[in-house]
A and B are shown apart, each in its own frame.
Chain A
């Protein structure tokens, strides 16, 4: 609306009207700075510079209330001043002046807004003061503005219609706070009350008040009082003595003593409890038991109320148990049985004992006071019990309490250092004795002493001596055994000596080894010996190399050529050597011995020093020499003795053979060999299954088919239909041509094309046409 020129004019005017005095300038400047922002924000410069009053003045000059005489005179003044000033600072930059003016005018308007007082006349202002407005309103014929109601100071606010006063809302926060404070105060009050109640003076506090000296004084006082009392007592005694009262008193005491009720008076009274019930170290108060006034027996019985109670409870418990067992609902049969046998069971038998024996038992119970025997018996019983508990004299009770655990130390402590392991005592002494005893050193010279080996001969006189020694000595079993064994060996050796005194020494020993039952030996009482070695050999079974070296069973040959030399009266024929049956002479008084062997298992090594024969023997036995024509030895008779009776090598081999043979043949014994003539036979096996219609089945179907057959239950109707459908489809598929559709469309197409002589067909048109 307003052009630039216009604006400038108005500004100038404003400026004029504003600048009342040069003194105000500074203040105005300050205000300008302060208001700068406000102005920019809510007021566009255009609005400010609208020359409101100019319009007003133009249109209805009479209506402008501000243009009164006073304001107009002021305006004149200002104009004159302005004029003057403009003259004064003419050299100033015009532009800057203008800017200043505009800013000043801004400040003015702001100021004017706030001020209610009379302002300059109809000058440009957007908001009129109340007074001005009122004047304007009066001219327009309106009622004056209502005075702005200020909010009442009492916090009451009128509602929008101005009709009702509202009570201001209470401040909940403040309320809460006050509540809290009140609560805390209450709490504190309560606490104080309780504290007051509980506050008592403690014993220690009290005593604290008295110091040590007070305590000492107190105790001294007490002591003094005691002393005084003692003195007084002594004085009184003296007085009594003087007047002869003491003698009287003593007499009286004596009498009293005599009249006193002692244990002797109670002698013979019965106490109705067991001795066990009355505990030794406790004082038990006994009272006379109640009894029937009309009862015959006048016996007084002492009881203790507590013990009576205990006994009663015990009894009740027992009875309760009995009662539980008492009800037997299905006992009729037993009753009937008992009745049939002649003795009827009493009715309610469980009460019988109680009624009958209750009193009687009571009477027998207990003990008599002064009855020493009972005490003795009790004591003795107790002692016995203790002893039994301990398990007699030999047994002592072991505590289950283990020694206290402690942490293992790396070093030995004193006890451990001192402690020594007890070595188990050897029985060497005894054994030595056994060795020494039988061989009496005094009786032999060094050369003759038996070395206790098998390859030395033993003289008969030595033997007898040793046996004598054996008889004399009564040694423990081991010694006896050793002695017996030795004696036996010696005797055998002796026998050999007796029978073959002409053969060399080695021969003797070999003879002794041999198993051939010799009548003489038998008559002399040989024995079968089982020892550890023999057992071991037996368990080994037949040693394959046994006897190969010839050192084991050459006795056959030996015996062969020995027989001539032997001058022995043989009543019985010695038929066989090894493993043969020996004939026993019935007439002879000695028992027949089946075998003889001084040392079984291993035989003695032949002595080398007995000529060429001995050397040869040794060589043979060692295997240096091989006996020509020595057949693989049959199982020696000696070892046969040791081996099991029903056992043979053949058996063993057969068993081993069995392992393969029987199993593979599986019962059909026959030769295992291939069919040579059928070696080219390669059967081509093909498993094919067909169903009832003869159609081949795939493995899955075949399985199903077989399964149905096996279980005797065919597939369901649906399944069967499905299968048939499938089969039909398959057949169709097989019949279908591979080059055309099932409807023969291709054929038709080709026909059409041939007909029309064109490489295409027209698809449009009626359906029938296309089909043609």
Chain B
């Protein structure tokens, strides 16, 4: 289990618990559940890397306590 922090720097910052073998899409759904935005409107980024929905967190080497950038489309 790991917990990542997602922050759009506009006022929303959530911490989400998830499994390393969850896909980015799953993470987005969880975030959507916590923040109330639609999950298909969420974009997760780390610097210029846009995480794709069908790839696992472990493949992106997303670890516990990491900060992800939260954007909307």
Contact = CB atoms under 8 A, between A and B. Distances in A.
A127 interface: yes
A47 B14 CA distance: 8
Interface string B1-27: 101000000111111111100100010
A147 B1 CA distance: 6
A356 interface: no
Interface in A119-141: 126-128, 130, 133, 136-137, 140
A44 interface: yes
Interface in B8-65: 10-19, 22, 26, 29-30, 33-36
A142 interface: yes
Contacts of A137: 30
B13 A145 contact: no
Given A1-B12, A140-B30, A133 B36 contact: no
B14 A140 contact: no
Interface in A715-742: none
A126 B34 contact: yes
B33 A143 contact: no
A55 B36 CA distance: 5
Nearest to A48: B13
A50 interface: yes
A146 B19 CA distance: 7
A622 to B, nearest CB: 143
Nearest to A133: B17
A393 B3 CA distance: 128
A63 interface: yes
B24 to A, nearest CB: 13
A47 B16 contact: no
Interface residues of A, number: 28
B33 A136 contact: yes
Contacts of A136: 30, 33
The interface centre, meaning the residue of B16, B30, B33 with most chain A CB atoms within 10 A of its CB, is B33
Nearest to B36: A55
B17 A127 contact: yes
B73 to A, nearest CB: 17
Given A56-B36, A136-B33, A47 B1 contact: no
Interface in A606-633: none
Contacts of A301: none
B57 to A, nearest CB: 12
B36 to A, nearest CB: 3
Contacts, number: 64
A127 B35 contact: no
Contacts of B18: 133, 145
A130 B17 contact: yes
Interface string A1-31: 1100000000000000000000000000000
Nearest to A56: B36
A58 B1 CA distance: 29
B33 A140 contact: yes
Nearest to A134: B17
A445 B71 CA distance: 170
A140 B23 CA distance: 13
B11 A52 contact: no
A128 B33 CA distance: 10
A47 B35 contact: no
Contacts of A59: 36
Chain B residues touching A, majority SS: mixed
Contacts of B34: 52, 126, 128
A63 B11 CA distance: 24
Contact of B1 (A43, A46, A126, A146): A146
A402 interface: no
A140 B29 contact: yes
A127 B30 contact: no
A55 B39 CA distance: 13
A47 B30 contact: no
Given A52-B34, A55-B35, A47 B12 contact: yes
A130 B12 contact: no
A148 interface: yes
A145 B20 CA distance: 9
A51 to B, nearest CB: 9
Contacts of B26: 140, 142
A166 B35 CA distance: 40
B14 A127 contact: yes
A1 B12 CA distance: 9
B33 A56 contact: yes
Contact of B11 (A2, A54, A55, A56): A2
The interface centre, meaning the residue of A130, A133, A148 with most chain B CB atoms within 10 A of its CB, is A133
A493 to B, nearest CB: 154
Nearest to A126: B14
Nearest to B64: A148
Given A59-B36, A126-B34, A142-B26, A50 B19 contact: no
Nearest to A130: B17
Contacts of A50: 11-12, 35
Interface in A21-75: 43-44, 46-47, 50, 52, 54-56, 58-59, 63
B29 A1 contact: no
Nearest to B13: A47
A127 B11 contact: no
Nearest to B33: A136
A127 B15 contact: yes
Contacts of B12: 1, 47, 50
B36 A128 contact: no
Interface of B: 1, 3, 10-19, 22, 26, 29-30, 33-36
12 contacts: A44-B11, A44-B13, A52-B35, A56-B33, A126-B14, A127-B15, A128-B17, A140-B26, A142-B19, A142-B29, A145-B18, A146-B19
Interface of A: 1-2, 43-44, 46-47, 50, 52, 54-56, 58-59, 63, 126-128, 130, 133, 136-137, 140, 142-143, 145-148
Given A126-B13, A127-B16, 15 more contacts: A44-B11, A44-B13, A46-B11, A47-B12, A50-B12, A52-B36, A54-B36, A55-B36, A58-B36, A133-B16, A133-B30, A140-B29, A140-B33, A145-B17, A146-B1
Interface pairs A-B: 3 shortest CB-CB: A55-B36, A127-B15, A46-B11
